[in-house]
A and B are shown apart, each in its own frame.
Chain A
Amino acid sequence: MNVESSVVSRVYDTFLAALEEEGQVDLAEALRPYLERHAMPRSAEIADLIVALSAVQA
């Protein structure tokens, strides 16, 4: 059993599902590739992503 990867993957899956439940489907889809690769980029890159998404939502 690999405790490490199972906990991390479960957190990511639950997080993305919770985002979708709250109506943030686009954000969930935008973050999914990073989380699936276990390679979160820098905050600045995520901030750019969020700016673009929030502009679309506006």
Chain B
Amino acid sequence: MTALERLDIHGIRGIADLSLAFDGGSIVLGGGNGTGKTACVDAIEFLYTGSITPLTGTQGLSVRHHGAHVRIPAGEAHVAAHFSGPSGSVTRRLSGQLDVPVDLEGHMARGAQLAFILRRSQLQQFIHAKPADRYRSMADLIGAEELDRTETVLKGARDAFEAKLSQAQTALARIDVRIAELPESAGDDALLRLANERLEAVNGSYRLNAWDDVREVRAAVLRDVAAARQDPALEARARLAAELQRGIGEERLRSSAGSFREVTGPARPQQEHLVDLLNLLRRGRDYLRESAEQRCPLCEREMRGRVLFERLVERVAELEEVSLHDQRVQRASQELIEALQETTQRLRALEPLLGASGLHAPAAPLRDALTMVSESVRDRALTESRELLDRVRQALDRWEGWARQTLAPIESEMDSAASGEEDDTAGAILGVLEGAVAERAAQERGRQELVRLQDERERTVAEIGAAERAFGLAERAYRIFNRTKNAEIQRVYDDLRTDLARMYDVLHPGEGHGVVAIAMDTRKRGSSDLRMGFYGRDDEDPRAFASEGHLDSLGLCIFLAFARRFNGDWPLLVLDDVVATVDAAHKVRVARLLLEEFGDRQLFITTHDSRWFRELQRLQEETGHTNVRNLAIESWTLETGPRIRELVSTG
């Protein structure tokens, strides 16, 4: 074990030059006030930590400016310590320089961390500390800072999930409110009934059998208005407007043209070739069916028409069976032909109205294109049909553009005519229709909003589920860690309490104090309580009943219990004038406690109390502690510092 052999102090505080020979043992240093006892303690603290407590933490005071002797340049001030086991010397200078041999680095590092110096001013620090500060000073010794950091990380994760959960729950509540605020959907049928009731109330002539009828009823109203005004041109335009609103089957035509293009597209040349062959054979078959020809129409050689016809029928049947593609082509062709017919018929129905209204529509190019495509598709000329469909598309585009341009002014003219009616019946009907359409649109928007909100709700419920699971896991981890950490720290506290209570009992036997305890405050994070019983009043703050002297000795016991628990085999224990407020009888007990409990360490005890100094000397002899030097400071001057005389035991 490393032992301090000698301490050389030069130019530190009130010491010009002083050498303290520990010789691996203890020193008791007695002397009056202002004779340099505390300067020796300052020098030991400076050696290990580079700081001096009385010069730290007070504005205007610093080791750099006030650490050196007033007559000695700061650059020369230093403390040197000489050790054994391992042997070596450490020198720390006020300039900041520290010389430590490798073998003593570990010893010096421990000395910088451990609490082994107790000054009179620090006696009640732990007692008067706030619970959080008390915990902090304990935590530094136990290593609870790392535990606290880990706990904070786990708590941070838990808090994050709690916040996320709360956020998602708030969002869900908001969604539910928005869903509840949505107007109840009456349904399309109910709205239609309501519209008819309103139409009935205005004029019983009009009725909506379905929502698709709105345009027709509107057109009928406008037509009737025009008729009532006996304006044939206006009436014709009203009828034309109704027809244009109905359209000429453009949608179906475009759709079937698209399907036709797809199934007859160039992506399947082989199938197309097969279809061409099949069509050729069909034409030959049809020709032979209706003809009594006995010569081939191509080469004019004689042929057996019946045999050839039957062979063609078989071949066509085979090809039709294997040609699914042909079936699709046929279906698409048939659908296209029907769509072309519908558009052609609608266009034809419009012609008289166009004539009567005096409007020039691009109907002829469309009609021609429709006719040509129809013939081409019927002839199964697929490639040609596709090309012609381009012409149809162009003509249809022109027609639709013309219809849009034509319809807008006619409708405007009709609306004006309707609103000009004296009884405003037509205007009222149009209003009912517009209102109904608007209500239905609003209802549709509401329905879409409901679907959107329900989707959002579903996502949020899933989020809540995930957050609940994660929060549960994080909460459990945090709780278990918190519980484990507190239990372990409490174990350390319990060990401390045992020593503390025993030492206090030694100093104050039969004085009415109850259990002395240090405990974790489980209600607060990072908080420690110091409690003591007093004549039957358990669990009280020691300050409530204890005298100043009792509080000082409690502070001393706490320090000693800490030193025993946390300092391990650390050799030094420094006590600077710590029994000043304790009476003579208790001082004897303190001296006995120190020698009996800590006699195996190197003690450095200072006191201004000559009786206690003698008592300590007497007890050394009584307890057999011979490796103690008792030094008395006889005088002190600025130039020389303390002058010391060793008191040798008389035996």
Contact = CB atoms under 8 A, between A and B. Distances in A.
Interface of A: 1-5, 7-8, 10-12, 14-15, 18-19, 22, 24, 27, 31, 35, 38, 40-44, 46-47, 50-51, 53-55, 57-58
Contacts of A40: 149-150, 153
Contact of A35 (B150, B157, B474): B150
Interface in B447-498: 465-466, 469-470, 472-474, 476-477, 480-481, 483-485, 487-489, 492
B578 to A, nearest CB: 24
Contact of B466 (A10, A46, A55): A55
Contacts of A31: 477
A13 B153 CA distance: 17
B471 to A, nearest CB: 9
Given A3-B142, A8-B143, A42 B470 contact: no
A43 B485 CA distance: 18
Contacts of B150: 12, 35, 40
Given A7-B147, A19-B477, A55-B466, 19 more contacts: A3-B492, A3-B568, A4-B142, A7-B488, A11-B147, A14-B484, A15-B481, A18-B483, A19-B480, A40-B153, A43-B152, A43-B154, A43-B156, A46-B157, A47-B156, A51-B466, A53-B473, A54-B469, A54-B473
B153 A41 contact: yes
Contact of B474 (A3, A50, A55): A50
A22 B150 CA distance: 20
B474 A47 contact: yes
Interface of B: 141-144, 146-147, 149-150, 152-157, 159-161, 465-466, 469-470, 472-474, 476-477, 480-481, 483-485, 487-489, 492, 565-566, 568-569
A49 to B, nearest CB: 8
B137 to A, nearest CB: 14
Nearest to A28: B477
A58 B480 contact: no
B354 to A, nearest CB: 68
Given A8-B147, A40-B150, A50-B157, A27 B477 contact: yes
A27 to B, nearest CB: 6
A18 B161 contact: no
Nearest to B469: A54
22 contacts: A1-B568, A2-B568, A3-B492, A5-B143, A7-B142, A7-B147, A7-B488, A7-B492, A14-B488, A15-B484, A19-B480, A22-B476, A24-B476, A35-B150, A46-B154, A47-B161, A47-B470, A50-B473, A50-B474, A54-B473, A55-B466, A57-B469
Given A19-B480, A47-B160, A54-B469, A3 B141 contact: yes
A11 B151 CA distance: 11
A32 to B, nearest CB: 13
B473 A7 contact: no
Contacts of A5: 143
A47 B476 contact: no
Contact of A22 (B146, B156, B480, B568): B480
A13 B481 CA distance: 10
B484 A18 contact: yes
A41 B149 CA distance: 10
A31 B481 CA distance: 12
Given A3-B143, A24-B477, A27-B473, A11 B161 contact: no
Task: Sort A-B residue pairs by CB-CB distance and give the 10 closest, nearest first.
Answer: A43-B156, A4-B143, A54-B469, A1-B568, A47-B157, A46-B157, A54-B470, A15-B484, A40-B150, A11-B488
Contacts of A18: 480, 483-484
A12 to B, nearest CB: 8
A43 B469 contact: no
A7 B157 contact: no
Contacts of A8: 143, 146-147
A41 B152 CA distance: 11
Of A7, A22, A35, chain B has the most CB atoms within 10 Å of the CB of A7
Of B149, B470, B566, chain A has the most CB atoms within 10 Å of the CB of B470
B427 to A, nearest CB: 62
A43 B160 contact: yes
A4 B142 CA distance: 5
B588 to A, nearest CB: 32
Contacts of A14: 484, 487-488
Contact of B469 (A2, A38, A58): A58
